[in-house]
Structure 1
Amino acid sequence: MQRLVSMISMAAILAAAGGSMAATPDPHAVLAEVGRITSANGIDEARAVEIGGVQQWITVRGRDRRNPILLVIHGGPASPELANRYLFEAPWTDYFTVVEWDQRGSGKTYELNDPAKVAPTLSKARIVQDAEELTAYLRRTYHRRKIFVMGHSWGTVVGLSLAERRPDWLYAYVGVGQIINMQAGEKAGYAHTLAAAKKAGDQAAIQELTAIAPYPDTDGTIEPEKIGTERKWSIRYGGLTHGRTSFDYWENAERISPDYSEQDFKAIDQGSGFSLPKLLPDLAKVDFDPMTRAGCPIFIFAGRYDETTPSEPVQAWFQRLHAPKKRFVWFENSAHMLYAEEPGRVLVHLVEDVRPLAVKAGDTAPN
């Protein structure tokens, strides 16, 4: 009865306002309105800024400007997470001012610039420099001594490099699906995926995976076609998202994003096709094993079932690492997509383990 009364009341209100309950709203608009920051001291900005000589797209969102800044560095290369932030990010904005950044050659940033101009600049070193310049911009614009940085997948290469270069600018670095030694990680992931295919008796997978052996190549090369084959079957056997056999759920969510239009959605694939071949050689050479000391606190969030960036090389490195503070956190129900797989636990560890470092420094008001 209460539900019926509520529906009648809502119908009367809508009728009086000239609206209709029968109208089918645009999901982009609905999600944008639901996610809009309305608090008096909040911030909700989206704009292009010039970083490294090109226009790069950022959003800055939080419910209290006193909160510390959390710069999120997406994976890929060229797989922006802004399009999916509505799935998991809203609770973060209670505790952080969250900055999403579409990197050089990715998503909205890809659309803003002439690819012919950007192509010669695409490298790991240039994107790390972009991250440093963006951090300087955020510190200057929002009057902060330090910020938090969180990288995911490829973004951990950029983020950990930034932590090496500018530890004095960071309260802490958080690696989600961390890459330490790309060669070792790819070998481990390939072995796990092939073993899963053999256990399942999947002859198609076994045939395609054995055909790309040795993987990576003996000279350390990671060919785009080969990594595509490995990822195809890794996804099939839950190495990207635990318990799922495809990535459709994530890509379908991008299509109704409040931050991405249909054209922006197409730019994700365009940017990936543009960037991956240029950045893959740099990615193949990534090796943080010689890094035994960090100048800022280091947190690692690792999915127990992650075969996209397997944790074996990361654990070995982490045990040797000396840092002002460090913590390795296992996510027992996740593979590589922790934000979507265990969003509540990600939030808890960000709030309970990471954020207090800013509060302790006296740079933000505790909630």
Structure 2
Amino acid sequence: MLSTMITAAAGACLAAPVAGLLVHRAVVRADRARRLRITGRHGIDERYFTRIGGLDQWISVRGEDRAHPVVVELHGGPGSSHSVLTHLSRDWERHVTLVRWDMRGTGKTLRRSGADGQGEMTFARLLADAAEVVEHVRERLGVRRVVLLGCSFGSALALRLARSRPDLVGAYVGTDQKIFDGGRDRADHDAVLDRLERAGKKKELAAVRAMGPDPRAWSAEQFGHFHRAAATTDPHTFAAMKSVVMKSLWYSPLHSLREIPVFFRSFLVSSAVLPGTAAFDDRADGTRFDVPFFVVQGACDLVNTPARARAFFDEVQAPVKEFTLIEDAGHFAAYRRPDLFLDVLRTRVLPTLGGDRQEA
């Protein structure tokens, strides 16, 4: 979903003399590696592959205290590994144990087995993998339930898992919340057409018009074209792609130079999932959740708009629910303002867990 906007941002970040870039990269990576160290005797810092859905998949587990609540994050894209964002969530790890997973078709999981070794690339397969990851985390860390954090495309997976498996989920948190409506609402399509017209991008405008407003008829390539148009005409999101994602990828101490092309390849491999989601309807699937329900959205997000997320949220029935806007942020709001997201996590989400770790 975000592959083309990331590619567009890449040139802007890497257009500098190569030698100088590499020297500066080495210095920054060393500093970030130092800041990421977890040295306390109660801490945990594990990165490993485990068998999920018949495939070796990569998982990271980090936190200052194993006794803290466990947050399992489902990244966006599909194909947008959040392991590159580890330095931005460093303060979160002082309050929770944060589990990241490179889904099949993504990042280190993709590099391990190659594009031809990823198996079935469907939403249903990713959802089954997500449930298996949570089961694995519960057993490995000795917890009964986890806080499930869904980001953008990952929020579509997390939403379904929280609805269907409250036995696994202590609380749901969606950010850059994705809501499917069965292709009925053409507001996003019309908004992109309007922004393209105002920007004078005639070629892109003609292409989006030719696709039509119904995503159920789009190919994977057309999904990519639409999301590129949506992102490049959204100044907040495009700025976040450069300052948050691309810089994080380039300076990540967890990723070698050889892994950078894999980051981009992940979107191409994972795009096969998108056409199968076009007919999804979150309201038809149900708005009742048996777990605390939180949405944290960028007020200026034009990719997954706060209005669409709020409209769904208003219909949700849950034991506790809360909707938070992060002002002056678009997509990637939680990573644009990780301090504000942490405040929501600490003051709103974690108290609903009852003050304990929900031991198995």
Is TM > 0.5 for Structure 1 vs Structure 2?
yes
Aligned CA distance change for structure 1 residues 310 and 187 (closer, same or farther; 3 Å):
farther
Asked whether 1:231 is paired with 2:227, we answer yes
Aligned CA distance change for structure 1 residues 303 and 159 (closer, same or farther; 3 Å):
same
- TM-score, normalised to structure 1, is 0.84
Asked if 2 retains the 8 angstrom alpha-carbon contact of 1:301 and 1:328, the reply is yes
Matched residues in 2 for 1:188 and 1:239: separation?
A: 19
| Secondary structure of the structure 2 residue equivalent to 1:149 | strand
Paired position in structure 1 for 2:19: none
Matched residues in 1 for 2:278 and 2:179: separation?
A: 11
Asked whether 1:202 is paired with 2:196, we answer no
Question: What letter corresponds to residue 345 of structure 2 in structure 1?
Answer: L
Correspondences of 1:84-123 after superposition (within 5 Å): 84-86=85-87, 88-119=88-119, 121-123=120-122
Paired position in structure 1 for 2:350: 355
Matched residues in 1 for 2:304 and 2:320: separation?
A: 23
| Secondary structure of the structure 1 residue equivalent to 2:99 | strand
- TM-score, normalised to structure 2, is 0.86
Note the C-alpha offset of 1:218.
4.1
| Secondary structure of the structure 1 residue equivalent to 2:305 | coil
* Aligned with 1:284 (options 272, 278, 281): 278
Note the C-alpha offset of 1:65.
0.8
Matched residues in 2 for 1:210 and 1:270: separation?
A: 27
User: Which of the pair has the greater relative contact order for Cα pairs under 8 Å at 6+ separation?
Assistant: 2
Aligned CA distance change for structure 1 residues 217 and 190 (closer, same or farther; 3 Å):
closer
Paired position in structure 1 for 2:209: 213
Paired position in structure 1 for 2:156: 157
Question: What letter corresponds to residue 287 of structure 1 in structure 2?
Answer: D
Larger radius of gyration: 1
Aligned CA distance change for structure 1 residues 341 and 218 (closer, same or farther; 3 Å):
closer
Note the C-alpha offset of 1:338.
0.8
Note the C-alpha offset of 1:318.
1.6
- Identify which range, 135-144 or 310-319, moves more after superposition: 310-319
Asked whether 1:63 is paired with 2:64, we answer yes
Correspondences of 1:153-302 after superposition (within 5 Å): 153-181=152-180, 187-198=186-197, 201-203=198-200, 205-213=201-209, 215-218=211-214, 220-238=216-234, 241=237, 244=238, 247-249=241-243, 250-276=245-271, 278-290=272-284, 291-302=286-297
Aligned CA distance change for structure 1 residues 224 and 216 (closer, same or farther; 3 Å):
farther
Which has more helix, going by share of residues?
Answer: 2
Note the C-alpha offset of 1:206.
4.2
Matched residues in 1 for 2:212 and 2:48: separation?
A: 39
Aligned CA distance change for structure 1 residues 171 and 216 (closer, same or farther; 3 Å):
farther
Matched residues in 2 for 1:139 and 1:82: separation?
A: 20
Aligned CA distance change for structure 1 residues 289 and 263 (closer, same or farther; 3 Å):
same
Aligned CA distance change for structure 1 residues 208 and 146 (closer, same or farther; 3 Å):
same
Correspondences of 1:118-129 after superposition (within 5 Å): 118-119=118-119, 121-129=120-128
Question: What letter corresponds to residue 138 of structure 1 in structure 2?
Answer: V
Flag structure 1 segments of 5+ consecutive residues without an equivalent.
Answer: 1-22
Note the C-alpha offset of 1:317.
1.9
Matched residues in 2 for 1:148 and 1:254: separation?
A: 26
Question: What letter corresponds to residue 202 of structure 1 in structure 2?
Answer: A
Question: What letter corresponds to residue 97 of structure 1 in structure 2?
Answer: T
Aligned CA distance change for structure 1 residues 341 and 128 (closer, same or farther; 3 Å):
same
Note the C-alpha offset of 1:186.
7.8
Aligned CA RMSD, in angstroms, stands at 2.3
Paired position in structure 2 for 1:27: 28
Matched residues in 1 for 2:32 and 2:269: separation?
A: 30
How many matched pairs?
A: 334
Note the C-alpha offset of 1:147.
0.7
Question: What letter corresponds to residue 356 of structure 2 in structure 1?
Answer: G
Aligned CA distance change for structure 1 residues 212 and 324 (closer, same or farther; 3 Å):
same
Question: What letter corresponds to residue 93 of structure 1 in structure 2?
Answer: E
Question: What letter corresponds to residue 95 of structure 1 in structure 2?
Answer: H
